[in-house]
């Protein structure tokens, strides 16, 4: 994993390398049951050198905690390892440049469940696993909160907590979906389901 981290930090495979302060490799325990996948590092992550830091990281830790999942026991990474320009969206050439890193991370960690946070993380996984891309962005939210079997892995797509920074009306729906993930997590962890 140290070699992969070094490759990520010195990567120049796409145009994002030209403007970044640093690339952000994933972190967490090898063998983690849960693999959290975001879109790309934000400013706070670039400054701290760690994925899921800042406000959205605090939201994520809160939602996972409610769901009975310890954030620090999860592998944490992003689809893109370099920050996007402010309000930028990933381009497929950038995603394609980072997919080999993601593939290697997944192979090293061997999680029970991969949690793509947001539509771009899910699109990236579809590309990685050779699945057809959803035709429209509008169809992606319908996949949130539901487990999807993909080969030897289970994907459990969830909304990215960053969306709450701009759309606080989504709070209740986001809580509900993370709670569903918590129930699912208990089943794959061998825990009992809570009483209703």
The pLDDT score that the predictor gives to residue 195 is 43
Nearest CA to 32 out of 146, 154, 114 is that of 114
Please determine, looking at this structure, whether the domain spanning 2-188 carries the CATH number 3.40.50.460: no
Share of the chain above pLDDT 70, in %: 95
The pLDDT score that the predictor gives to residue 97 is 98
Q: Which residues of 158-186 are buried (b: 16+ CB within 10 A; e: fewer)?
A: bbbbbbbeeeeeeeebbeebbebbbebbb
Q: Is the pLDDT of residue 4 over 80?
A: yes
Label residue 191 by pLDDT band (50, 70, 90): low
The pLDDT score that the predictor gives to residue 30 is 97
pLDDT digits (tens, 9 = 90+) for 127-184: 999 998 777 666 788 899 999 999 999 999 999 988 877 777 788 899 999 999 999 9
Virtual torsion, Cα 167, 172, 177, 183, nearest 10 deg: 150
> What's the CA gap between 170 and 59, in Å, rounded?
13
- The DSSP annotation for 44-94 comes to HHHHHTSSS-HHHHHHHHHHHHHTT--GGGSEEEESSSSPPSTT----HHH
Q: Which residues of 34-53 are buried (b: 16+ CB within 10 A; e: fewer)?
A: bbbbbbbbbeebbeeebbbb
Q: How do the domains of the chain map onto residue ranges?
A: 2-188
pLDDT digits (tens, 9 = 90+) for 35-46: 999 999 998 899
Mean pLDDT across the chain: 91
pLDDT digits (tens, 9 = 90+) for 48-79: 999 999 888 999 999 999 999 999 999 999 99
Helix ranges restricted to H, the chain: 2-9, 43-48, 54-66, 92-109, 119-128, 163-166, 171-188
Nearby residues of 130 by Cβ (< 8 Å), 6 or more positions away: none
**Residue 149, beta-bridge partner list:** 154
The pLDDT score that the predictor gives to residue 167 is 75
Q: Are 32 and 77 in contact (CB under 8 A)?
A: no
């Amino acid at each position: 994993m140290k070699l992969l981290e070094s490759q990520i930090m010195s990567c120049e495979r796409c145009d994002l390398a030209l403007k970044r302060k640093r690339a952000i490799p994933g972190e967490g325990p090898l063998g983690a049951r849960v693999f959290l996948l975001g879109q790309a590092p934000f400013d706070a992550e670039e400054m701290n050198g760690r994925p899921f830091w800042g406000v959205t990281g605090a939201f994520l830790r809160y939602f996972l905690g409610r769901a009975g999942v310890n954030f620090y026991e999860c592998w944490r990474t992003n689809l893109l390892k370099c920050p996007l320009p402010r309000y930028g969206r990933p381009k497929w050439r950038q995603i394609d440049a980072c997919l080999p890193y993601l593939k290697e991370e997944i192979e090293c960690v061997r999680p029970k469940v991969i949690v793509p946070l947001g539509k771009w993380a899910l699109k990236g996984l579809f590309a990685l696993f050779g699945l057809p891309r959803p035709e429209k962005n509008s169809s992606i939210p319908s996949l949130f909160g539901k487990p999807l079997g993909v080969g030897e892995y289970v994907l459990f797509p969830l909304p990215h907590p960053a969306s709450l920074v701009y759309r606080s009306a989504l709070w209740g729906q986001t809580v509900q979906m993370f709670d569903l993930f918590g129930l699912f997590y208990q089943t794959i962890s061998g825990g009992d389901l809570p009483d209703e």
